[in-house]
Amino acid sequence: MAENHPSAAMLGTERVGAGVAVGADRILTVHYLVLGATRVAVFGLDGRERKVSRVALDHDSGLALLSLERADLESAAIASGRAVVGTPVFLLTATSRSERKGATGHITSVGPFEAFWEYAIDRAIMTTAVNPGLAGAPLFDAVGRVIGVVSLGLTSVGRYSLAIPVDLYLERAADLEARGEGRVTPARSWIGIYPLAQESEVILTGVVAGGPAEAAGLARGDAIVTVDGLPVSTLRQLYEALWRRQPGEPITLQVLRDEDIRAVEVRASDRYTFYR
């Protein structure tokens, strides 16, 4: 990872994670592990390195699909249908190049989830399985079918691991296969903020260096009141308002700063271009 890549400041220049084979030459993992990577190395259960020929990112789902030069992997079975609360689950992940660990639990909820990097999904899988290793690990149902990809570890009681549902990958497979050769669905607008919702307010904890929000003068501590005239008090409201626009379009934010309300126009960008 190049030190000057926009993701390096938060995620570092060297990242290690897990993944699951969804085809003889395809590995599914979480996108932040390979975001901006100059080189990606994949090591199988047999310890051999597989050369990666292509990396496709999907910022909207939070997934990445790695294409390998050789098709010699055994693909995991993928569950059909959506995850159900109460289902027993287990995950299998890497802790190093040669060590694997697992954990068991059950699904506690399936529903909306928003994160602070302009990210939201509707069917996030929350489980009681504590991830003993690296992110990107497959989450299996009781009969060994992949139902999700483990993305985050959460500390609140009863929500130990969050997984991106595998049906979201199936829905966006065409986008991932086409990434880098043309986009299947339109890109969402992106302005480069790190918002936090608290007490019915959305406060900026920071902005992405070199991003549209910084260029427009937004800063840490600003409270976003409206987006294009629409009041926002939650991350979901904020993101849905931002995503009404397309990259390249202007977005007008009303922000509270030092007890003054001011209007700030931000030119929305394309996250895929910015993080290329």
Q: What is the pLDDT of residue 10?
A: 86
Alpha-carbon dihedral sign for residues 23, 27, 31, 35: negative
The 8 Å CB, 24+ separation contacts for 236-239 are: 236/112, 236/114, 236/120, 237/202, 238/195, 238/197, 238/202, 239/114, 239/118, 239/119, 239/120
Q: Above 60 in pLDDT, residue 180?
A: no
Q: What is the pLDDT of residue 153?
A: 75
What average pLDDT is seen over the chain? Answer: 92
Residue 183: pLDDT band (50, 70, 90) is low
**Structural domains of the chain, with CATH:** 8-74+174-178 (2.40.10.10), 88-169 (2.40.10.10), 189-274 (2.30.42.10)
Q: What is the pLDDT of residue 184?
A: 57
Nearest-angstrom CA–CA distance, 27 and 23: 7
N- to C-terminal Cα separation, the chain: 12
**In the structure encoding, which two tokens stand for residue 25, read together?**
């030459």
Query: φ, ψ for residue 44 (rounded to 5)?
Result: -80, 180
How does DSSP assign the chain, residue by residue? --TTSTTHHHH-S------EEEETTEEEEEGGGTTT-S--EEE-TTS-EEEEEEEEEETTTTEEEEEESS--PPPPPB--S---TT-EEEEEEESSSS-EEEEEEEEEEEEEEEETTTEEEEEEEEESPPP-S-TT-EEEETTS-EEEEEEEE--STT--EEEEEHHHHHHTHHHHHHTTS--SSPPPEE--EEEEEETTEEEEEEE-TTSHHHHHT--TT-EEEEETTEE--SHHHHHHHHTTS-TT-EEEEEEEETTEEEEEEEE-EEHHHHT-
Residue 251: pLDDT band (50, 70, 90) is very high
Q: Are strands 41-43 and 49-58 parallel, antiparallel or unpaired?
A: antiparallel
Q: Above 70 in pLDDT, residue 179?
A: no
Q: Above 90 in pLDDT, residue 114?
A: yes
Nearest-angstrom CA–CA distance, 79 and 143: 9
The CB-side HSE value for 253 (13 A sphere, CA atoms) comes to 30
Is residue 39 within 8 Å of residue 16, measured between CB atoms? Answer: no
pLDDT, mean of residues 5-17:
90
Residue 116: pLDDT band (50, 70, 90) is very high
pLDDT, mean of residues 69-91:
94
Q: Above 90 in pLDDT, residue 84?
A: yes
- Per the rule left: phi > 0, alpha: psi between -120 and 50, beta: everything else, 153 is beta
154 or 112: which leads in pLDDT: 112
Q: What is the pLDDT of residue 233?
A: 97
Nearest-angstrom CA–CA distance, 206 and 214: 9
Over residues 195-221, the pLDDT tens digits come to 999 989 999 999 999 999 999 999 999
pLDDT, mean of residues 259-276:
94
Residue 175: pLDDT band (50, 70, 90) is confident
Question: Percentage of residues in the chain with pLDDT exceeding 90?
Answer: 79
Question: Percentage of residues in the chain with pLDDT exceeding 70?
Answer: 95
Over residues 131-162, the pLDDT tens digits come to 999 999 999 999 999 999 999 876 554 558 89
Q: What is the pLDDT of residue 31?
A: 94
Q: What is the pLDDT of residue 156?
A: 53
